[in-house]
Amino acid sequence: MTETVLVVPGDGIGQEVVPATVEVLEAVADFEFVEAEAGDHVKEETGEALPEETRRLATEADATLFGAAGETAADVILPLRQAVESFANIRPARAYPGVDALRPETDLVFVRENTEGVYKGIESEIDEGVTTLTRVITEDASRRIADYGFEYAAENGYDDVTVAHKANVMRVTDGQFLDAVEAVAEERSADYEEALMDALAMHLLLTPEDYGVVICPNLAGDMLSDLAAGLVGGLGLLPSANVGEDNALFEPVHGSAPDIAGQGVANPAATILSGAMLLEHLDYDEEAADVRSAVESVLADGPRTPDLGGSASTEDVTAAIVDRL
């Protein structure tokens, strides 16, 4: 069976790093690539950042590779994540040999609940100068993310599982979250530690080596994973996956980087590593491992793009990765 991969480069450096990733994927697998449009440039032409056609193609594809959108990011990526019915946002933050990192011992994976919490969008102005936000935490979504997190840790060899929460203050909602995690851990006979999310932010900064998989409610996962990005040396290195029951979308954590767009110097590593996650999701485990080790070896030996202190182009780096494959 030939899997169909939808490719949505989007805006800015998305137009550079996504084609680079397709080149790498073509070197290891035989996918059918379908390309679709989204982002600021589409909105300028048609008035809509995410064409219905692109949304439909994402629901039909076996997986989607997304680059970045500019100002319209929220109008593009949130509906696309919904289109693939993703409930888990997986954000690995690893330091690589040869790359200047604040904490070279970092090897963390954030497993973030992707559908509820304070990002459910239930806000109102109940009176002049008085606004409210409703935080939604359900047993089902909490169990589902806990199950995914424990499974991910077991499959990928992480011994430490930490569950971030603030149940000392948000007693009902994070109490629900913790109860669900506990029930799932019991069923799986899995070990884990609970950590208050504010204190955890400090511990991740000081001793990241004590942590592995971090299971988080939505907002905590968003913030803690960006903190971890700072530990490993920059946005050009961070991949992510949005995973549903059947479908999934893969994207770098970075945006469209208008300051360097069009110059051919964007670091393609984040998107190529997202491509490795895509390969793994479609059960191309060996190919995924090959892509990862090719990226690691180029990060260690060069060529490197300017964000990592080098002077190579996106194309040079991509060619070096393909060469190692």
Residues serving a catalytic function are: 119, 166, 198, 222, 226
Contacts of 193 (CB under 8 A, 6+ apart): 160, 161, 162, 163
Instruction: Select the span of 70-78, 118-126, 154-162, 242-250 touching ligand NAI (CB under 6 A).
Output: 70-78
Q: Is 85 in the site for ligand NAI (CB under 6 A)?
A: no
User: CA 198 → CA 8, 34, 53, 109, 116, distances in Å?
Assistant: 36, 43, 42, 18, 20
Q: Tokens 């400090």 identify what position? A: 202
Among 18, 29, 55, 70, binds ligand NAI (CB under 6 A): 70
260: its two tokens: 């360097």
Cβ 174 to ligand NAI shortest distance, Å: 27
d(CA 313, CA 91): 26
Among 109, 141, 167, 270, binds ligand NAI (CB under 6 A): 270
Cβ 204 to ligand NAI shortest distance, Å: 21
| From the list Mg ion, ligand NAI, none, partner contacted by residue 260 (C-beta under 5 to 8 A by kind) | ligand NAI
Q: Is 256 in the site for ligand NAI (CB under 6 A)?
A: yes
Among 5, 20, 24, 68, binds ligand NAI (CB under 6 A): 68
Nearer to ligand NAI, 212 or 236 (CB): 236
Closest residue to ligand NAI, based on beta-carbon distance: 255
Cβ 223 to Mg ion shortest distance, Å: 8
Beta strands 248-252 and 239-244 are antiparallel
Q: Is 49 in the site for ligand NAI (CB under 6 A)?
A: no
DSSP letter for each residue of 222-240: HHHHHHHHHHHT-GGG-EE
Nearer to ligand NAI, 222 or 287 (CB): 222
The contact mask relative to ligand NAI for 16-45 (x = CB under 6 A, - = no) is: -x----------------------------
User: CA 120 → CA 41, 78, 79, 113, distances in Å?
Assistant: 28, 11, 13, 11
Closest residue to Mg ion, based on beta-carbon distance: 222
- Report how many residues bind Mg ion under the rule CB under 5 A: 1
Among 307, 318, 320, 321, binds ligand NAI (CB under 6 A): 307
Nearer to ligand NAI, 89 or 256 (CB): 256
The separation between the first and the last C-alpha atoms of the chain, rounded to the nearest angstrom, is 23
User: CA 140 → CA 39, 86, 180, 216, 320, distances in Å?
Assistant: 33, 14, 8, 15, 45
Among 7, 77, 83, 109, binds ligand NAI (CB under 6 A): 77
d(CA 198, CA 215): 14
Among 165, 166, 254, 292, binds ligand NAI (CB under 6 A): 254
Region for 12 from its dihedrals, namely left if φ exceeds 0, alpha if ψ lies in -120 to 50, beta otherwise: left
3-state SS class at 109 = strand
Please return the burial class of 246, using the count of CB atoms within 10 Å of its CB with bins 0-12, 13-18 and 19+.
exposed
Residues 196-255 that bind Mg ion (CB under 5 A): 222
| From the list ligand NAI, Mg ion, none, partner contacted by residue 222 (C-beta under 5 to 8 A by kind) | Mg ion
Q: What is the DSSP letter of 253?
A: S
Cβ 208 to ligand NAI shortest distance, Å: 21
d(CA 113, CA 149): 10
Binding residues (CB under 6 A) for ligand NAI: these are 13, 17, 68-71, 73, 77, 235-236, 251, 254-260, 266-267, 270, 305, 307
Binding site for Mg ion (CB under 5 A): 222
